[in-house]
Amino acid sequence: MKRYVITGGAGFIGSNIAATLLRQSDTDVVIVDDFSSGDWRNLIPLDCEVRAADCDDPHLLAEIAAGEYHGVFHEAAITDTTVMDQRRMVEVNTNAFKSLLEATAASSTRLVYASSAGTYGNSAAPNAIGRGEQPENIYGFSKLAMDRIASRFYARHHGGIVGLRYFNVYGPGEHHKHERNGNNTASMMLQLYMKAKAGEQLRLFKYGEQQRDFVYIRDVIDANLEAMNGTLSGVCNVGSGRARCFNDAVTILGDALGQSFDVEYFDNPFSFYQMHTEADLSETQRILDWQPTCTLETGMRDYIQRLELGQRGPLDGVHD
């Protein structure tokens, strides 16, 4: 039996990785989450051990260092990019990761962790590893600091470490982000869908031409599994490799729901705003045996179909 730890497993991406792993007959999963932003509802379909604990819980670190796990997926983090408490962000995101690096290095346990396209800030796209790494907020900095610490471990970490810089991920399992604390951090796809279903006016920053690399959760899960099964160490981008504009998302939503939307455009109130992100996948192809398979059209159609069927939780064997 291969036993994996998933930190942040009650969250969007962690619960999807768990659901996919648990489909395999020879695999077991332990989810470790402090429930600061994740949601127990994501865990309902997952028949595995769940622990409420910090991702650098001493008992967990001792188990990892003793070689009790086949691999660690580290998804836990403060994921609200508007949090400005610098010390807290670095403690939770960066310090805890260093402890996981040490524990996994001690037992040569493979470690796959979540980095972010936030490391690029507003640098010119396409965004490539080692170029334009100019984060614009403490969240992006905390992820860049993780990548830098990890690189110091590559040579002596015999299990290998892969950092995945996710771009804008969307898909089932992110409902908690829509609902939490009045601060909506869900993907644009879910936000637009919820507004459309509530019969509300769809609004975009002027004039909806901002471009993002949106990546569907199915591709993100596959990238994680490939990273775990590989042997190399490094950090690489996980995106669709193609930027699409906000207006495209509205058009695809309209097609999927059989509606046409009259968008209201308003001034963007943010002084910092990423205008164009797009993953350069050359380093990804070197490190991972993976490439994205979903376009914005196929990913959004799949997602909207599931939302229409009332499926909110992570992708799982039952609904796939």
- CB-nearer residue toward ligand NAD: 266 or 273: 273
According to CB under 6 A, which residues from 108 to 137 bind ligand NAD?
Answer: 114, 116
Per CB under 6 A, does 40 bind ligand NAD? no
Beta strands 244-245 and 211-212 are antiparallel
**Token digits of residue 112:** 């796959």
Active site residue 207: no
Task: Find the catalytic residue in 4, 113, 120, 139.
Answer: 139
Judged by CB under 6 A, the stretch of 26-34, 154-162, 262-270, 307-315 that binds ligand NAD is 26-34
Active site residue 139: yes
- CB-nearer residue toward ligand NAD: 13 or 19: 13
Q: Helix axis angle, 96-107 relative to 138-153, nearest 10°?
A: 20
Beta partners for residue 161, in sequence order? 111
Site size with ligand NAD, rule: CB under 6 A: 28
Per CB under 6 A, does 239 bind ligand NAD? no
C-alpha of 291 from chain center? 16
Reference 42, options 174, 171, 166, 217; nearest CA is 174
According to CB under 6 A, which residues from 41 to 100 bind ligand NAD?
Answer: 54-55, 75-79, 92, 96
According to CB under 6 A, which residues from 164 to 203 bind ligand NAD?
Answer: 166, 168-169
Helix, coil or strand: residue 165: strand
Per CB under 6 A, does 20 bind ligand NAD? no
Per CB under 6 A, does 38 bind ligand NAD? yes
Per CB under 6 A, does 34 bind ligand NAD? yes
- CB-nearer residue toward ligand NAD: 77 or 227: 77
Per CB under 6 A, does 213 bind ligand NAD? no
Say which DSSP state 279 is in. Answer: B
What phi, psi does 171 have (nearest 5°)? 145, 180
What phi, psi does 290 have (nearest 5°)? -150, 145
- CB-nearer residue toward ligand NAD: 79 or 109: 79
**Token digits of residue 222:** 């596959």
d(CA 179, CA 212): 23
Per CB under 6 A, does 233 bind ligand NAD? no
Please work out, in degrees rounded to the nearest 5, the angle formed at the alpha carbon of residue 78 by the alpha carbons of 146 and 295.
Answer: 80
Reference 3, options 18, 124, 274; nearest CA is 18
3-state secondary structure 112-130: EEEEEHHHHCCCCCCECCC
Please work out, in degrees rounded to the nearest 5, the angle formed at the alpha carbon of residue 83 by the alpha carbons of 278 and 41.
Answer: 85
Q: Which of 4, 5, 12, 312 binds ligand NAD (CB under 6 A)?
A: 12
Give the Å distances, CA to CA, from 169 to 64, 189, 239: 28, 10, 8
Per CB under 6 A, does 216 bind ligand NAD? no
Q: Which of 5, 17, 30, 37 binds ligand NAD (CB under 6 A)?
A: 37
Per CB under 6 A, does 299 bind ligand NAD? no
Per CB under 6 A, does 236 bind ligand NAD? no
Residues that bind ligand NAD (CB under 6 A): 7-8, 10-14, 32-38, 54-55, 75-79, 92, 96, 114, 116, 166, 168-169
The residues carrying an active-site annotation are: 139, 177
